[in-house]
Chains A and B, each alone.
Chain A
Amino acid sequence: ALSVTVQPRCKIIRFILIQNRAGKTRLAKWYMQFDDDEKQKLIEEVHAVVTVRDAKHTNFVEFRNFKIIYRRYAGLYFCICVDVTDNNLAYLEAIHNFVEVLNEYFHNVCELDLVFNFYKVYTVVDEMFLAGEIRETSQTKVLKQLLMLQSLE
């Protein structure tokens, strides 16, 4: 007999964004193909959606046919765009894990660190996330690797 498989939804991180309250993007990491116009539009929409939310809202927002898991750290919004069926709390803590690594690596990270060391932030991201999936979660391991890379010429 023939079997008809129902295509499962594509579970992948679509993008990771770090934006400040004014809307300036401090990091944009894309895991799916979008052309430049689409990227710009997405960035603006995400900013519009998260900045109107406050403590009474959840950390999850339905966004187009995906969802955004986000958290605000001082003046920066860290947003991960995932599939509607993805695990909200797991990604919320993935964000926090990432922020703790940045904090440790840059010694009490501030927005300027992300600006002046933008090319290093990509390295941190790639240690922890790759191909739209979580790659490494141990802060110890990630920091050890980053420090090793830091020492290279």
Chain B
Amino acid sequence: MPAVSKGDGMRGLAVFISDIRNCKSKEAEIKRINKELANIRSKFKGDKALDGYSKKKYVCKLLFIFLLGHDIDFGHMEAVNLLSSNKYTEKQIGYLFISVLVNSNSELIRLINNAIKNDLSSRNPTFMCLALHCIANVGSREMAEAFAGEIPRILVAGDTMDSVKQSAALCLLRLYKTSPDLVLMGEWTSRVVHLLNDQHMGVVTAAISLITCLSQKNPDEFKTCVSLAVSRLSRIVSSASTDLQDYTYYFVPAPWLSCKLLRLLQCYPPPEDGAVKGRLVECLETILNKAQEPPKSKKVQHSNAKNAILFEAISLIIHYDSEPNLLVRACNQLGQFLQHRETNLRYLALESMCTLASSEFSHEAVKTHIETVINALKTERDVSVRQRAADLLYAMCDRSNAKQIVAEMLSYLETADYSIREEMVLKVAILAEKYAVDYSWYVDTILNLIRIAGDYVSEEVWYRVIQIVINRDDVQGYAAKTVFEALQAPACHENMVKVGGYILGEFGNLIAGDPRSSPLVQFNLLHSKFHLCSVPTRALLLSAYIKFINLFPETKSTIQEVLRSDSQIRNSDVELQQRAVEYLKLSSIASTDVLATVLEEMPPFPERESSILAKLKKKKGPGAVSVNELEEGKREGGELNGGGERGGDSSAIAASNAVRDTNKYGKHCFKISISALQLKCWGSGWHWTQECMALLENVDPNPENFVCAGVIQTKAQQVGSLLRLEPNAQAQMYRLTVRSSKDTVSKRLCELLAEQF
């Protein structure tokens, strides 16, 4: 048993803990605990009033038992009694107990709050801190109601001790987060901001967390913190190693405070004041310079502390996205880290570069590291590092390197962890579509995806390849041929059968001339997979078969025989049975003309945003996908139709026709025009996905009107927008109102929409 420190010995506790540790079995432990609980219960109920020391000891034992994992249903009252002791050690145990075993009994709450109140007004900093810590740890509504008014006062009072200020700041932060309505900052704002100038670095460290949170909710009220933060940061970064002694960690001055200051600055756009901005840029340059200097210590703590600041500074540089020089320097620094011997740094560099990739200033610089990143993808031993490499390849992908990157990602996919395959598949599908100049490459890529990771190829992906093949004449023959070849593989994924079935059903005629892919050969190939497939796939294949009958009359009798067989027309699945029966009938009674009309080639799909992007966003969660906006800016709407301008115009015309019939088709038409608008927005370098813009129901009291709300993402920020369309059937006119938080955005939206009508 190790020596217990002097002062509050609590020998009884130490003995009890030893006893528990010496128990040979769970049963013995429970027995010993129950014995102790009985003992404590009797002591608490006993005639003699317990002295403070004993009470403390028993409450502490109860706490220990609770932390072992056993329920405790008494002792709260005794713990609360300890709060009113004037001995620190007793108070401490009392507060600890009630913070860990939070009880919602209202009488206890009243007593606790009373004790806290006394300690807060005691002018004893140790007791004040105990009380503040309790509020910060528990943070209940009742505590907020009782103390939310008092704590700001303590925080800014001139005679409050430094340590109390630190605790008060964070205590207030907790209350603000849990009960924001009760924490009114109004009159305290400037004094709280001023804490950034406090000479006690610990106070600044604590205050800055409070300020950061408050300024996120009330940016205008707290914006004076920006220049103070810059000054503070500047002083720290340029300080000699002998300043800030207590706060220097392994030769790095105030690393955590520096990080927090840089984090606070990320809540705001770049400073407008030239002097402040200049000072900040200088600061960032100094931080980047320091990264190049020889280290003052070989210890990993030194480099971690230094690099913590560096990475936060790079985050800020990326957030501003306005200093090309800094962005490029940041990129170069990260490039060096890509090959560092420490895995942590390689990981962080890959992660950070991912965000840099979407800035137009640093995009090219990031691309220069492609070989290193590809190498990381192949050789890193930690799967999370390989994943960051994959993310970075996705982010740095553009027209110039798409083929290379997609090839590398496909190859990685062959051995990738199952947990990341679905995301990888979505990403490859998105890149292949986005950067396809040659759509046969696109088709190959998707078919490869199915071959390599068929289980993870979701519906959105294979629907998309079909949509694209349907809409593009130039790739239909190639698709038919390729899918035919892919189906030859003995073990072929079911998704391949789906895609193959559909495409051959539509375009099998394009390869039917070659005897190796004659109609009967195609049919037999598909049918050989039939019994291995699930019901939905079989249903799809049956449709393909009837299409074959239309395309290739010579196959009619063979296929009819299949349709006629018991396993089809008496199939236990209703859908399959119905299809078999109906297709059989159709093939028998319809004339060739009728058959040809019914089974006419699928018309092109209407323009709409790829659901793949939406699915990826949903998978990755907020703040994840940052699709390269450079390429989107250059992309023309309507590429889906295989002919730039014309495709785009026709959709716009269709949209405006549709809108003119608003009263007839209502919401649907407005949606179409929104989609067309969205393609145009892409042309302006904006990004606006279907899930960001929504048609709202029951908002406008007039049911004839349509209201939309959404968020438009420009390069620098997100701009909320509201739209209202008010049609007036009688006058054959409408009024379109657009509101957003930026004038320029409203104007542009109006211009774009006006072009639609």
* Residue ranges of A at the interface with B (Cβ–Cβ < 8 Å): 1-4, 6, 8-10, 12, 25, 28, 56-62, 65, 85, 87-90, 92-94, 96-97, 110, 112-113, 115-120, 122-123, 126, 130-138, 140-141, 145, 149-153
Q: Tell yes or no: B136 within 8 A of A by CB.
A: yes
Q: Is the CB of B307 within 8 A of A89?
A: yes
**Residues A115 and B17 in contact, CB atoms below 8 Å apart:** yes
Query: CB distance A133 to B1 under 8 Å?
Result: no
B156: Cβ under 8 A from any A Cβ: no
Judging by beta carbons under 8 Å apart, are A3 and B344 in contact? Answer: no
**Contact yes or no, B348 A4, CB < 8 A:** no
Please determine whether A136 and B166 come into contact, CB atoms closer than 8 angstroms: yes
A87/B7 in contact, CB under 8 A: no
- Interchain CB contact under 8 A, A62 and B4: no
Smallest CB-CB separation from A113: which chain B residue?
B2
B177 CB to closest chain A CB (Å) equals 8
- Can you show 28 pairs from A to B with CB atoms below 8 A apart? A1-B740, A2-B722, A2-B740, A4-B721, A56-B343, A57-B381, A61-B384, A85-B623, A87-B311, A89-B348, A92-B344, A112-B1, A115-B17, A115-B21, A119-B96, A130-B166, A130-B171, A131-B139, A131-B209, A133-B206, A135-B166, A135-B202, A136-B166, A136-B205, A145-B163, A149-B88, A150-B7, A153-B88
User: A117 contacts which of B4, B93, B259 (Cβ < 8 Å)?
Assistant: B4
Number of interface residues of B (CB under 8 A): 81
CB atoms of B2 and A90 under 8 A apart: no
B87 at interface (Cβ–Cβ under 8 A)?
Answer: yes
The answer to whether the Cβ of B411 comes within 8 Å of any Cβ in the partner chain is no
Chain B interfacial positions (CB closer than 8 Å to A): 1-2, 4-8, 14, 17, 21, 60, 63-64, 67, 87-89, 92-93, 96, 126, 133, 136-137, 139, 163, 166-167, 170-171, 173-174, 177, 201-202, 205-206, 209, 216, 245-247, 249, 254-257, 259-260, 263, 267, 301, 304-305, 307-308, 311-312, 343-344, 347-348, 381-382, 384-385, 621-623, 711, 718-722, 739-743, 746
- Report whether B384 and A119 are in contact in the complex, using a CB–CB cutoff of 8 Å: no
Contacts A58-B382, A89-B344, A117-B4 known; 11 new A-B pairs at CB < 8 A: A4-B718, A8-B216, A9-B622, A56-B381, A119-B96, A122-B96, A130-B167, A131-B139, A137-B247, A137-B254, A153-B89
Measured in the bound complex, the distance between the Cα atoms of B17 and A1 in whole Å is 64
Name the B residues within 8 Å of A138 (CB-CB): 201-202, 246-247
Q: Which residues on the B side are within 8 Å of A58 (C-beta)?
A: 343-344, 347, 382, 384-385
Given contact pairs A4-B720, A85-B623, A97 touches B249 in the complex (Cβ within 8 A): yes
Whether B255 pairs with A90 at a CB distance below 8 angstroms is yes
How far is A66 from B306 in the complex, measured between Cα atoms in Å? 24
In the complex, how many angstroms separate the beta carbon of B176 from the nearest chain A beta carbon? Answer: 10
Once the chains bind, are B2 and A141 in contact (CB under 8 Å)?
A: no
Residue in B closest to A67 when the chains form the complex, CB atoms: B384
> Closest chain B residue to A96 by CB distance?
B301
Smallest Cβ distance from A134 to chain B, in angstroms?
5
**A2-B722, A65-B621, A149-B88 known; A87+B259 contact, CB < 8 A:** yes
B739 touches A1 (CB 8 A): yes
A117 CA to B64 CA in the complex, in Å?
10
Tell me, in angstroms, the Cα distance from A137 to B718 when the chains sit together. Answer: 36
Q: Give CA–CA (A17, B88) in the complex, Å.
A: 26
- Give the docked Cα–Cα distance between A119 and B14 (Å): 12
Cα-based distance from A10 to B217 in the complex (angstroms): 12
B244 to chain A, nearest CB (A): 9
The smallest C-beta distance from A111 to any residue of chain B, in angstroms, reads 10
Q: State whether B209 touches A152 (Cβ < 8 A).
A: no
User: B344: which of A4, A6, A59 is its contact (CB, 8 Å)?
Assistant: A59
Residues in B neighbouring A135, C-beta threshold 8 A: 166-167, 170, 202, 205-206
Report if A87-B343 is in contact (Cβ < 8 Å); known contacts: A56-B382, A93-B305, A153-B7: no
Q: In chain B, what residue has the closest Cβ to A4? A: B720
Q: Which residues of A contact B347 (CB under 8 A)?
A: 58, 60
- State in angstroms the CA–CA spacing of A136 and B256 once bound together: 10
A96 CB contacts on chain B under 8 angstroms: 301, 304
Instruction: Determine the distance from Cα of A1 to Cα of B719 in the docked complex, in whole angstroms.
Output: 11
* CB–CB B206/A116 < 8 A: no
CB distance from A67 to the nearest CB of B (A): 10
Residues of B within 8 A of A94 (CB): 256
A60 is contacted by which of B174, B312, B344, B719 (Cβ under 8 Å)? Answer: B344
The residues of B that contact A132 with a CB separation of less than 8 Å are 174
Q: How far is the CA of A132 from the CA of B177 in the complex (A)?
A: 11
CB-defined contacts of A118 to chain B, threshold 8 Å: 64, 67
Pairwise interchain contact B741-A2, C-beta atoms closer than 8 A: yes
